[in-house]
Chain A
Amino acid sequence: MREWADYTIEEAGGRTTLVVTGPLLVSTIGKLDAALRTVEGPVQFVDISKAAPIDTVGAWVIHRFAEEQQAEVLGASEQAEILIDTVTGSASAEPISPVLDRLITRVPEQVGTFVTGAVHEGKHNLGFLGAVIMAFAGVIRHPSRFRLRAVVHQMELVGVTSLPIIGLMSFLIGIVIAQQGAVQLAQFGAETLTVNLVGRITLRELGVLMTAIMVAGRSGSAFAAQLGTMKLTEEIDAMRTIGVSPMEALVVPRILAAVIMMPLLGFYSACMGILGGAVLADVSLGIPFLTFLSRIQEVVPVYDFYVGMAKAPVFGLIVAMAGCYQGLRVEGNAEEVGTRTTKAVVQAIFMVIVLDAFFAIFFTKIGWA
């Protein structure tokens, strides 16, 4: 166990002397400091001639006590004197953590900050949309500035590399829908309608929706983290100084890749969902695999496919814009990259689901029920 610094109080001729013993080091001072804070004065002298070695923390504790008690320090070695002088000159009473306001003022303040922040965020979002449109216009006006390689690279990252996970997810969802649907429909003796259920729901809704959520989680977050890190390391500023527009070089390829890949991925996802349903129907409902597929052709109206494909690019746009926007808004420290990435994903998924609801009503109203 460590040897702690300790003290005794000696009284002689009406004068009180506090005698400190033991090593006055950061590792041994903890108990002494706590004890000295409770000592009732007055103490006229502090004797540290029996205390060694000493470091700045020890020197500080002695200095603080001596100052509080208006006591004189005795028996300080040459080194102790230097250290006490050093810490005396460096004493600071400034707060260590930012001072928090009282709760009663803090709550309204934070609510206010939140509201104005939301308004600002809305404006910025709109501004970003404008900037994206301008960037696209710029690329169209000057096709030489179009970065095909970057777009293809992003298409690979957004699309090709996510094929396995989206395929597996959709296949399993197809199985779940077929299984759960069959159980419910069996109550009416209508198991065969499972085909309609799986075919329509995957092509019209779930294929695209689940893909959008997956892309938001995979690529939207990656966009935010990449751009955010580039912002922190001043890469984006460096681009600007060279005359490369970050909007054209970074944002346009990512948005374009997401807009192009989303319909493809959504259709792929719907197909995998149908396959999953067909496999389950074959195994547990007694509907042969090929019969299931040919029934799909008969019962799914072609506009279901159009509904899905019309939504997909919009979702892609939302996911990519949220990712790029949050990434470019990163400022300050590494923690911000994390918060912004989270925001990008949450914002994207939320917006996708809200828009999906609007789309559902819209397409029903125009007769594509």
Chain B
Amino acid sequence: MMADIDDLPVNPDLSDETFDGEYTIVIEGLVNRFGDFAVHENLDLKVKRGEILGVVGGSGTGKSVLMRSIIGLQIPDEGTIEVLGKDIRAKEDDDEIGLRNRWGVLFQGGALFSTLTVGENVQVPLKQFYPELSQQLLDEIAGYKTVLSGLPAETASKYPSELSGGMKKRAGLARALALDPELLFLDEPTAGLDPIGAAKFDELLRELADTLELTVFLITHDLDTLHAICDRVAVLADKQVIAVGPIEELMESDHPWIQEYFNGPRGRVAHAGSQRPKGAGASAKTTGPAKAIDKPAAGGA
């Protein structure tokens, strides 16, 4: 009934396994050094399946380095990192890990390919992994992913240099979501956005995470984001993850940095703001984690 296209070249990095473990990311004893300076020392972290994990920490505590280690851009000096049940460290930088079609990454500046339009940017990973998709379908996918990421439809044919900072982030998100990944890495997605734009981005993220059942690793400085959409928050300090838990629990902690961070003047304002009634995104949050872990399909339904 169908044309035989089994002999198409298949990207060797392609993986069609499914993952059912409880923890999407498991990091144990991670050590990252730059020269003599250790950024991470015996860092442990587990990211649960289906949760939005916020990662916070002062400047220079190695949040981005941690993310780069997880996605295989930075080879750690010691320790093990398992993503979706596979060991990242077993492979070199650009070798196939069999994971790259299962995660999406949004870099700090968007990192869009500047010579391609937004729509073409979205199509790059699709073409890379699934050469069998027709151009017509690719165009349709690029179209709806652009809109899904909160951009006006006509943005699809614009070049990154024609976009504002916030739009670049959304376009970056559209590309990160191109492959319908299970796992999403976001490096400061709301930094540099105006409060309205940031709030919309938060809402969008929560919605997408719920509809698409994403596990999200979210680096942020934005206290509002932490309160609004994160199921759990991991705090990086002293070269380790010093605490992981729902934000209410962390606020009880007596670690001085955590106290200052969450109960400082800005933290209190954000916390007060999060107490106000909010939209569907926030209501899903309170019940989100437990449901998401037991039965991801139910998350945010």
Q: Is the CB–CB distance between A87 and B180 below 8 Å?
A: no
Q: Does A37 contact B (CB under 8 A)?
A: yes
A28 and B16 CA atoms in complex are apart in Å by 9
A1 contacts across to B, CB distance below 8 A: 6
Stretch at the interface among B19-27, B86-94, B112-120, B275-283: B112-120
Q: Is the CB–CB distance between A332 and B161 below 8 Å?
A: yes
Q: Does A250 contact B (CB under 8 A)?
A: no
Stretch at the interface among A52-60, A296-304, A320-328: A52-60
A359 contacts across to B, CB distance below 8 A: none
Q: Is the CB–CB distance between A27 and B101 below 8 Å?
A: yes
Size bracket of the B interface: 35 or more
Partner of B3, one of A25, A34, A60: A34
Instruction: Digitize B1-41: 1 where CB-to-A-CB distance is under 8 Å, 0 elsewhere.
Output: 11101100010001010100000000000000000000000
Q: Within residues 64 to 87 of chain A, which ones have a CB less than 8 A from any CB in chain B?
A: 64, 78-79, 82-83, 86-87
Q: Is the CB–CB distance between A96 and B148 below 8 Å?
A: no
B96 contacts across to A, CB distance below 8 A: none
Q: Does B297 contact A (CB under 8 A)?
A: yes
Q: Does A105 contact B (CB under 8 A)?
A: no
A93 contacts across to B, CB distance below 8 A: 143, 153
Closest chain-B Cβ to A270's Cβ sits at a distance in Å of 43
Q: Is the CB–CB distance between A335 and B157 below 8 Å?
A: no
Q: Is the CB–CB distance between B2 and A37 below 8 Å?
A: no
With A56-B180, A94-B156: A31-B2 Cβ-Cβ less than 8 Å: yes
Q: Does A99 contact B (CB under 8 A)?
A: yes
Partner of A98, one of B2, B3, B10, B117: B117
Q: Is the CB–CB distance between A78 and B180 below 8 Å?
A: no
Q: Is the CB–CB distance between A92 and B147 below 8 Å?
A: yes
Q: Is the CB–CB distance between B157 and A96 below 8 Å?
A: yes
Q: Is the CB–CB distance between B114 and A33 below 8 Å?
A: no
Q: Is the CB–CB distance between B139 and A31 below 8 Å?
A: no
With A35-B2, A82-B301, A91-B144: A98-B115 Cβ-Cβ less than 8 Å: no
Taking A29-B137, A60-B140 as given, write out 7 further A-B residue pairs in contact, using a Cβ cutoff of 8 Å, ordered by the A residue number.
A28-B16, A53-B18, A56-B180, A83-B212, A90-B144, A97-B119, A97-B120
Q: Please list the residues of chain A having a beta carbon within 8 angstroms of any beta carbon in chain B.
A: 1-4, 6-8, 25-35, 37, 53, 55-57, 60-61, 64, 78-79, 82-83, 86-87, 89-99, 332-335
Q: Please list the residues of chain B having a beta carbon within 8 angstroms of any beta carbon in chain A.
A: 1-3, 5-6, 10, 14, 16, 18, 101, 114-115, 117, 119-120, 123, 126, 129-130, 132-134, 136-148, 153-154, 156-157, 159-161, 179-180, 211-213, 297, 301
Q: For the complex of A and B, list the 7 residue pairs with the smallest distance between their C-beta atoms, beginning with the closest.
A: A96-B119, A30-B132, A92-B143, A333-B114, A92-B153, A90-B147, A55-B180
- Provide a sorted-by-A list of 28 A–B residue pairs whose CB atoms are within 8 angstroms: A26-B180, A27-B14, A27-B129, A28-B16, A29-B137, A30-B130, A30-B133, A30-B137, A31-B5, A35-B1, A37-B136, A53-B18, A55-B212, A56-B145, A56-B180, A56-B212, A60-B141, A60-B144, A89-B147, A90-B148, A92-B144, A94-B153, A94-B156, A95-B157, A96-B120, A97-B157, A333-B159, A334-B114
